Amino acid sequence: MADSTPQGQETLSNLLHESRSFPPPADLAAEANVKADAYEKADEDRLAFWEEQARLLQWEQPWDTVLDWNPPFAKWFVGGKLNASVNCLDRHVDAGLGDRTAINWEGEPGDSRSITYAELKDQVSQAANAITSLGVTKGDRVAIYMPMIPETVVAMLACARIGAVHMVIFGGFSSDAVGQRLDDSQAKLVITADGGYRRGKPSSLKPAIDEAVADRPTVENVLVVRRTGQEIEWNERDVWWHDVVDPASTEHTPEAHDAEDPLYIMYTSGTTAKPKGILHTTGGYLTQVNYTYSAVFDVKPETDVYWCAADIGWVTGHSYIVYGPLANAATIVMYEGTPDTPHKGRFWEIIEKYKVTIAYMAPTAIRTFMRWGEEIPAKFDLSSLRIIGSVGEPINPEAYIWYRENIGGGNTPVVDTWWQTETGAIMISPLPGVTSGKPGAAMRGVPGVVADVVNDEGKSISPGEGGGFLVIREPWPAMLRGIWGDEQRYKETYWSQFPGLYFAGDGAKKDEDGDLWLLGRVDDVMLVSGHNISTTEVESALVSHPKVAEAAVVGATDKVTGQAIVGFVILRGGEESVPDELLQELRNHVGGSLGPIAKPARLLAVPELPKTRSGKIMRRLLRDIAENRDVGDTSTLTDSTIMDVIAKQLPQKSS
Ligand code: WT7
């Protein structure tokens, strides 16, 4: 996330009108884990509500104070002690659920493993013993740089078990990015693998670690899982996982940790500045991920099979592959590879194979699947699905409807979940058994979360009044406890724009019913002839035209209008330019749905859009192109060559 400040202009214009809505299926509503009364209960006494949710966990010592709020510093469940790994494993095994499958793992080449709760507990205990024998103790930082394999989950839970702070680094990051994070966190141990399978072949991980640790003596050991068997260099500090974890004892007596003991650090992508090490602690975090996982996905752990397609290197993977699902004793699916290996139906094949009932993925993936065509998912039996979720970006109505129809069979609720690395857990989302979902809306704060939209003076916007800045009014249990090593930056980034309110950096609008629609990052907002226009709304309008598969728009400096809207579109037929007729048609289409002010001035056809590795469009780079500037730092892109490809499509720079 980029650091962002509201611009002190009039608040966002509210242009998009979407009136479809889908009530929950009657049987789902009748059996839902969370019903409408949860909102009332939480409103009546928010702290008592969160205490009730905390009691769903196993505490070794109860808390004395539910919340100690010294703005902007919160402590939750003060005095309480618990162990996150025990909550995800031991208590389920103790309750007789040891034989339940915890992880159905699918490797990209088609190999698979199924691991029960009892087996996972044993493996985590072995890993806890092994990393202890390597000298890791409570409070130490452990970097994890791994492919999507079960050992990654084992490593995280082993850290949690002994109170070491894990710091998972996305496997796609370069050795420089790894090094920066090792310096900032002063990690003592790195856990990695020789490599993992991606796009049909082994891709390496170990060389990036070798490079990053070479001149970093604070790293005492590198623990290496053998996944691919590829050739790797072997250094003095290196230890094979199978040499120390496999022979270790499966007996490990966990210690109870303070509710406020650090659980992990997760670096946010930081598209502009130095990445921020977002700190999460134990009790409040686990309380909210445990609750929201049950409430938003309505999971029935005895029968559901849940699959989150995110990478564990992102917060989504932490909260909704590992901690939320396992705390609920759910059965998860975990997939190592890419969606188009060996064919473009891989995701749907996985859903069919494991009879997945709940699936969670990003809008960027959904739009890619739209582009590949609905005949691909149509070849698979997806009838097991009963809830499908979306996260990471605004889901435009067109993608929502496509997802609901083609993946959800037309009767499966879509939960559009808004949250951030910083919030730790889902904050705004429909509840599948309560809410009539609107395509494109994340709806409202989950019970216990007070989300609001304010104008540039920090005043709450009335329903139907329009757009503004998304804020959170009250502290919540899973909130970040700060930025690792940088208190000042924590205060400035999130708490300085509106006194007493957490400012998320996103624009949003509140419709007539009081429901919330996310409008993208405020630093992406375009200012056209005095109107703040959201990129999300214009992109949604473009994508709702049958010829457009994906779109990104930016505001480019314009002498007349301040900024002019420039759109980059991927056309469904793969055309390399936008013919004049189509340009007119698309401009009119946008004008028809949003009004003439939102008509793009220019439209460029591109084969791909620049995206971060977590799937967010990097509009900053497109703005460089639209304003004929040299393109800035592209190191966080999935594919850095894409900017050259896009630049080639454009008329030559005129200066
Ligand atoms: C930013 C946070 C949440 C975990 C993955 C991303 C955007 C996220 C939604 C949504 C509209 C969304 C926001 C937010 N975002 N979910 N459902 N609708 N926008 O975590 O990398 O920390 O990014 O992602 O802009 O601020 P992150």
- What's the confidence (pLDDT) of residue 628? 83
**Does 114 have pLDDT greater than 70?**
yes
pLDDT, greater one: 5 or 633? 633
**Does 654 have pLDDT greater than 50?**
no
Sorting pLDDT into bands at 50, 70 and 90, what band is 273?
low
Spell out where 282-417 has E strands.
305-308, 331-335, 358-361, 387-391, 414-417
In the DSSP assignment, the letter for residue 310 is S
- What's the confidence (pLDDT) of residue 270? 55
Ligand 1, atom 18: closest residue by C-alpha: 394
- CA–CA dist 320, 316 (Å, integer): 6
Coil, helix or strand at residue 592: helix
When pLDDT is averaged across residues 621-646 and rounded to a whole number, the result is 78
- What's the confidence (pLDDT) of residue 272? 55
When pLDDT is averaged across residues 458-485 and rounded to a whole number, the result is 95
Q: Which residues line ligand 1 (CB under 6 A)?
A: 1, 268, 314-316, 391-394, 416-421, 442, 504-506, 518, 521, 614
Q: What tens digit of pLDDT does each residue of 186-237 get? A: 999 999 999 999 999 999 999 999 999 999 999 999 999 999 999 999 999 9
Cα 208 to ligand 1 centroid, rounded to whole Å: 28
Q: What tens digit of pLDDT does each residue of 563-615 get? A: 999 999 999 888 888 899 999 999 999 999 888 999 999 999 999 999 888 88
- What's the confidence (pLDDT) of residue 649? 64
Q: What tens digit of pLDDT does each residue of 531-571 get? A: 889 999 999 999 999 999 999 999 999 888 889 999 999 99
- pTM for the full model? 0.94
Task: Name, in order, each residue with C-beta under 8 angstroms of 303's C-beta and a sequence gap of 6 or more.
Answer: 357
| Ligand 1 atom with the shortest distance to the CA of 442 | 17
pLDDT, greater one: 287 or 13? 287
- What's the confidence (pLDDT) of residue 7? 47
CB–CB of 386/358 below 8 Å? yes
When pLDDT is averaged across residues 470-474 and rounded to a whole number, the result is 98
Q: Judging by DSSP bridges, how do beta strands 387-391 and 414-417 pair with one another?
A: parallel
Cα 134 to ligand 1 centroid, rounded to whole Å: 37
Cα 235 to ligand 1 centroid, rounded to whole Å: 39
When pLDDT is averaged across residues 518-522 and rounded to a whole number, the result is 92
When pLDDT is averaged across residues 414-425 and rounded to a whole number, the result is 98
- Of the candidates 283, 328, 313, 308, the one whose C-alpha atom is nearest the C-alpha of residue 479 is 283
